[in-house]
Amino acid sequence: MPNNIAEGSASIHAAEFKQFLNIARRSLFESASMLLVFESMAIVSAEEITSLLSGCDQLSRMIPNLIKSR
């Protein structure tokens, strides 16, 4: 996700940057999905998953606000 935002920030056009932000948000949801898989496989503890998903939730709310600001 951070790489999507970094790559998009080099865009000349605002619309292209917004597209990269949308890709970053989708990547974030993909990562959240993988966290749930890791929890079901007992690779990561439930406490860690809760904390990480909370961070994902915060980021997922920030990205649309960044899109609106452009």
**pLDDT computed for residue 3 by the predictor:** 67
Instruction: Give the whole-angstrom CA distance, residue 10 versus residue 45.
Output: 37
The pLDDT, as a whole number, for residue 6 is: 67
Range of the domain at 11: 2-30+41-69
Domain contains 46: yes
* Ramachandran region, residue 42 (left: φ > 0; alpha: ψ -120 to 50; beta: rest): left
Contacts of 46 (CB under 8 A, 6+ apart): 39
Note whether residue 55 is domain-resident: yes
10 in a structural domain:
yes
Task: Please report whether residue 48 resides in a domain.
Answer: yes
Instruction: Give the total number of structural domains in the chain.
Output: 1
Q: Is 36 inside a domain boundary?
A: no
> In tens digits, what is the pLDDT along the chain, a chain of 70 residues?
666 566 667 667 788 888 888 888 999 999 999 999 999 999 999 999 999 999 999 999 999 998 888 7
31 exposure class (CB count in 10 Å sphere: 0-12, 13-18, 19+):
middle
For position 30, what pLDDT does the model report?
Answer: 94
Copy the structure tokens of residue 8.
Answer: 């998009």
- Residue 19 has what pLDDT? 87
